[in-house]
Structure 1
Amino acid sequence: MSRLLLGGQNGTTGHQFAAALGDPMWPSRPVVDGPHAEVLARGSERTDQQILSSSYGRMAMTCIRHTGRYFSATDEAGVVEQAREFLARAAGEQTEVPTGDHHSPPGLPVLVVPIADSDCFQVLDGHHRIALAAAAGMTTMPVRVRRGRVTTPLQDLLRRMSWLKGGQELYQPIDAPELEALWPTVRCCADRLEAMETFLRHQLPELSGTYLDVASCYGWFVHQMGNLGFEAEGIEQDSLGATVGRLVYGQDPDRIRIGDAAWILRGTQERWDVVSCFSLLHHFVLGRGSCEPAELVRLLDRATGRVLFLDTGQEHEKWFRTSLRGWNPEHIRNFLLENSTFDAVLDLGPDRDAVGPYAENYGRHLFACVRDDGAGAG
């Protein structure tokens, strides 16, 4: 039942109801974690106002505003009555199953439709039955599968991101059930975060200060470094990255500056204690950037107060064996020293991304560029 995700209500589609609710992540949530299960978990001791302010009450009132009713309910009193009937069924106090007003006839199985590129299904009819079964301790249940397939708003949003070009990969970790099976995560990210945290604990008296992630994608590093205690920001060229970060990490989109990294860095005199720049430099080496690679390094140098963490494509990777010939860890380290004012560039070792379909790529070394006294470039 963990693969059965919330769908539309009162005849709406999952997309339509998510838009009405103002929650694009609605169809990415298992029914067993949704409002139907939540109202059962809270029990019948709740007041009418608590029911109305719950996720179940908000769902029902959204249905009424957009479709005129929620089952037989057309106002708040009707929503409370509907919720209490549902709670009575869960407690075995109501033996007669309601019919009509969008209630399914007794005996019909839950109706679902496959979610594209996923092992999950969107529920078309039967949310209450799934919640009741889960509350009774069941983990599986029979369903009737409708032909066709649907997508979720999150899948659609990810496919619209410019770097993905309509494909189905994740560049940073996202916890969503419809992405788990068939959306591989290209960069595990946790390896670099662990290396950064370990290094910084030896460099800083405490994990605090300002942090900037250049080419922040969805904002995973911005979110994680914020959790460590930094005032964290990002720069991302694709404006949809900030939208994804808001939905999947709860990241404030105002923390992400949208635009070309070199242009933004060139236009500011700000300096951050810690800066990171992952898998961006080689795009400039390959002529895809808005400036020369040496200038990008100088801009990163100017923006960094204490430590710059950087990785980039290397010559050992299958897709770069010709185009990045000579770009090995020693060359990258020298390139960073020659084009910056850092006192030392330390090789923290390769990433752990060269696995599965990417076994012949990645394994990029993470470099820490540091200043002896922690002072910014003059």
Structure 2
Amino acid sequence: MASGTLYTYPENTRAYKIQIAAGYSGTQLTVVQDPPAFKLGETNKSAEFLKKFPLGKVPAFENGSGTTLFESNAIAYYVSNEQLRGTDDLSRAQVQMFVNLADNEIEPAASTWVFPTLGVVQYNKQQTEKAKESLKAVLSFLNEYLKTRTFLVGERVTLADISVGCQLLLAYRQVFDVNYRKAFVHLNRWFVTFINQPEVKAVIGEVTLCEKMAQFDAKKYAELSGGGGSGKKEKKQKEQPKKAEKKPEKKAKKEVVEEDEELPPPPKKVDPFEDCPKSDFDMDAWKRCYSNNDTNTVALPYFWEKFDREGYSIWHCEYFPLSYLADNMVFQTCNLVSGFYQRVDKMMKHAFGVMLIFGEDKSTQVQGVFFWKGKSLIFDRNPDWAVDSPSYKWTKLDPDAEETKEMVKKFFNGEGDFGDLTVNQAKVFK
């Protein structure tokens, strides 16, 4: 009987696939997922872990003889028996068809819709609506396909059911409410059958189907992304009680005037950059130059000629909660950066930067180079700008150092030698 150790983190649906498959096949699986034995972003970046799993990806598996595997589908296949994999060429091909459908069609669309309701990514209406349409098409196909079938391939549970079921789990919990589910009677029947299998319940526990479709919670997102709920919406909520304390409208006009006279004058508008020296650097002119000219031959020489070392500073940043980026699709990481830009658009006239998304689906990283007015961290100048910034490590750079000039060149071009990292795409803040 096979055996091995699975490294993951709690409630990872990709790891669920492996655990459920092991339960059906009788594989003895030791799951290491809780600190201090395993802490995502630390343990999987340690020298000891990387010696076994050079990419640092989880789920990661090591069998009894020391052979290692990564990628959840490969591990699930290894710990499965013949019934789960398919008993002939056709059934094996059908199983792989649904495994790929789960990964390539269901997971990206479901994640785009569900993740904002969990507060882990910023809500994007256009992308969410597109994801809903894509997911609906897949659900309609599955519903029709299951009209005369109990399971996806054959008469018993296979990796096809396990893969599709695990990728639909969060959606059934968060957004597939009663009204939404009405259109997918056969799919619902199959899903309820799947989650009530003893081998499945032993891993995921009791599943409560969604009663009310979850929505994006901006306050929760701000808290999870490091903002501590200090955004504008919370400020408005704090101001509401003042409105409730207004005197009745029947109050005499003279009395209202006297009450108004006792109110303190409105707070004076404070310039967040009042401590900064006056500068001749023209941010708008720089952005026009960068947008309309070749970066190397025109924009960069212009930048270093005009850059005000006394009034501005240059910074490098790196997104450090790798536990979130570890399983991200590229589009999800792009949404993370775009959401950051949207929430700090008010500082755009004082700052410029380029964020680079490195890697590929399920293995992304984010770094950037910015410059802005002032010699200190710009996000400290206005609490509304500090929602996302705590999730990044910020390092001030020496503008006269050759390594800084080389870094600025690579980031502003969106290409260059970044060691083991491969640039996927660039996002400019301008």
TM class by shorter chain equals under 0.3
TM-score (norm 2): 0.24
TM-score (norm 1): 0.26
